[in-house]
């Protein structure tokens, strides 16, 4: 199964969502398309031909907290996926491993599928620390959760929203490293997505990378025509 996970982040307004929704009517694809709009718009999507996900959930359970959305609520509206550990949450929200562990536990307990994001910064890459960073991000979190319904999104921080994409060989090697670590530590084969400046023009080449199970897309996912273009490439 190949995934195209669309992360709208904090973009688009109600009118855009209405238009987006219209352009997805009758969409048919063999790819598992997952839309993660801002949560205030979740209910505007009818989920025909695609699934819904959220960009975040509360790390708390059964606690009354202003502004939080719980995994139980996500489940109750029929959304099935949650993004955890995105670098923007690590950087701007200062989220750390314990947050990711709690969020993943809450998600898994409620039957949600987790997209756990990992990836090195440019500085880490340039200092030859990519494997070390990936290993830490994997083991410090996955050692403390049930490995169930989790996929990994490998997203080099320097590739997110920059238009820069690593060479195919580099992605391939890092994906292999992630796969090997997970197999060695947990005896599991998890689905692995790539994210970072994926669009309808470069996705064709990225599809040739062995070991990838799909993509997590930000900017290009805001345009439904680009989403359709990406789906066509993925179906080739």
> How many whole angstroms separate alpha carbon 199 and alpha carbon 206?
10
- Distance separating the N- and C-terminal Cα atoms of the chain: 14
The nearer residue to ligand PGA, 124 or 155, going by C-beta atoms, is: 155
Q: Which two tokens stand for residue 165?
A: 């994409």
3-state secondary structure of 32: strand
Q: Which entry of 86, 88, 120, 233 is annotated as an active-site residue?
A: 86
Is 86 noted as a catalytic residue in this protein? yes
- Structural contact between residues 31 and 214, judged by C-beta atoms closer than 8 angstroms: yes
197 touching ligand PGA, by CB under 6 A = yes
Is 94 noted as a catalytic residue in this protein? no
Q: Considering only 53-61, 118-126, 131-139, 194-202, which stretch makes contact with ligand PGA by CB under 6 A?
A: 194-202
- Structural contact between residues 3 and 191, judged by C-beta atoms closer than 8 angstroms: yes
The nearer residue to ligand PGA, 24 or 217, going by C-beta atoms, is: 217
124 touching ligand PGA, by CB under 6 A = no
195 touching ligand PGA, by CB under 6 A = yes
> How many whole angstroms separate alpha carbon 139 and alpha carbon 172?
20
Q: Which entry of 95, 124, 155, 233 is annotated as an active-site residue?
A: 155
Which of positions 143-172 make contact with ligand PGA (CB under 6 A)? 155, 160-161
Kind and range of the H or E run holding 109: helix 97-109
71 touching ligand PGA, by CB under 6 A = no
Binding site for ligand PGA (CB under 6 A): 7, 155, 160-161, 195-198, 216-220
């Amino acid at each position: 199964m190949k995934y195209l996970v669309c992360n709208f982040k904090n973009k688009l307004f109600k009118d855009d969502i209405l238009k987006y929704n219209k352009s997805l009517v009758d969409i048919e694809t063999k790819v598992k398309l997952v839309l993660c709009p801002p949560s205030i718009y979740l209910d505007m999507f009818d989920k025909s031909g695609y699934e819904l996900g959220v960009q975040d959930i509360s790390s708390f359970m059964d606690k009354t907290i202003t502004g939080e959305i719980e995994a139980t609520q996500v489940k109750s509206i029929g959304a099935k996926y949650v993004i955890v550990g995105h670098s923007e949450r690590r950087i701007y929200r200062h989220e750390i491993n314990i947050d990711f562990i709690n969020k993943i536990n809450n998600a898994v307990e409620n039957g949600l599928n987790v997209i756990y994001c990992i990836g090195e910064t440019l500085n880490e890459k340039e200092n030859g620390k990519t494997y070390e960073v990936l290993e830490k991000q994997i083991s410090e979190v996955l050692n403390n959760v049930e490995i169930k319904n989790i996929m990994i999104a490998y997203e080099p921080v320097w590739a997110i929203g920059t238009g820069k994409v690593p060479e195919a060989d580099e992605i391939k090697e890092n994906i292999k490293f992630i796969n090997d670590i997970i197999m060695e530590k947990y005896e599991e084969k998890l689905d692995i997505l790539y994210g970072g400046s994926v669009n309808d023009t470069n996705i064709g080449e990225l599809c040739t990378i062995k070991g990838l199970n799909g993509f997590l897309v930000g900017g290009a996912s805001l345009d439904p025509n680009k989403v359709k273009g990406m789906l066509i490439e993925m179906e080739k």
